[in-house]
Amino acid sequence: MVKHAQREESFKIGILRILSESNEPVGSTTISRELVKRGLFTNERTVRNYLKTLEDKGLVLSRGKNGRLITEAGLKELIDSLTYQRLDFVLTRYLSLAYLVTFTPKSNRGRVVANVTLIDKNHLDRALEVLRSLNDAKLLLAPFLKIIDEGETYENISVDKDRAALLTVCNLTVDGILIRSGIPLILKYGGILQFVNKKPMRFVELMSYEGTTVPPLEVFTYRNMTSITGFLKTGTGLIPANYREIPKEARDRVESILSNLSLIGWNILSVIGLPEEPMLGVPVGAGRCGVSIISGVTPTAALKETGLNVEVFAPHCLTRIEDMKPIE
Spatial distance between the Cα atoms of 135 and 143, rounded to a whole number of angstroms = 6
Residues 28 and 155 in one domain: no
Same domain, 230 and 320: yes
Same domain flag for 48 and 192: no
Q: What is the pTM of this model?
A: 0.75
Give yes or no for a contact between 67 and 48, defined as CB atoms under 8 angstroms apart.
no
* HEC-encoded secondary structure of the chain: CHHHHHHHHHHHHHHHHHHHCCCCCECHHHHHHHHHHCCCCCCHHHHHHHHHHHHHCCCEEECHHHCEEECHHHHHHHHHHHHHHHCCHHHHHHHHHHHCCCCECCCCECEEEEEEEEEEHHHHHHHHHHHHHHHHCCCCCCCEEEEECCCCEECCEECCCCEEEEEEECCHHHHHHHHHCCCCCEEEEEEEEEEECCEEEEEEEEEECCCCCCCHHHHHHHCCCCCHHHHHHHCCEEEEEEEEEEEHHHHHHHHHHHHHHHHCCCCCCEEECCCCCCECCECCCCCEEEEEEECCCHHHHHHHHCCCCEEEEEEEEEEEHHHCEECC
Rounded CA-CA distance 303/322 in Å is 25
pLDDT digit string (tens) for 199-223? Answer: 999 999 999 887 666 778 888 888 8
**% of the chain at pLDDT higher than 90:** 59
For residues 233 and 265, state if they share a domain. yes
Would you say residue 5 has pLDDT above 60? Answer: no
Residue 153's pLDDT band, with cuts at 50, 70 and 90, is confident
The last residue of a domain, from among 54, 85, 116:
85
Q: Please say which residue of 45, 69, 85 terminates a domain.
A: 85
Cα–Cα dist 303/317, whole Å: 20
Half-sphere exposure of 263 (CA within 13 A, CB side): 11
- Percent of the chain predicted with pLDDT > 70: 92
Q: How many domains does the chain have?
A: 2
Assess whether 75 and 174 both reside in one domain.
no
Do 119 and 222 fall into the same domain?
yes
The verdict on 187 and 200 lying in the same domain is: yes
Residues 67 and 214 in one domain: no
Please state the rounded mean pLDDT for residues 64-92: 75
- 243 and 175 together in one domain: yes
Q: Same structural domain for residues 195 and 101?
A: yes
Do 73 and 204 sit in the same domain of this protein? no
Nearest to 220 by CA among 295, 131, 108: 295
The last residue of one of the domains, among 57, 85, 113, is 85
Domain residue limits at 153: 87-328
Q: What is the mean pLDDT of the chain?
A: 88
Q: Give the CATH number for residue 155.
A: 3.30.70.1360
pLDDT in tens, 294-312: 998 999 999 999 999 888 8
CA-to-CA separations, 285 to 92, 187, 243, 291, in angstroms, rounded: 21, 13, 13, 12
- Give me the CATH number covering residue 46: 1.10.10.10
- Both 59 and 152 in one domain: the answer is no
For residue 163, list its beta bridge partners: 120
Please compute the mean of the pLDDT values over residues 142-155 and round it to a whole number: 89
Q: Is the pLDDT of residue 1 over 50?
A: no
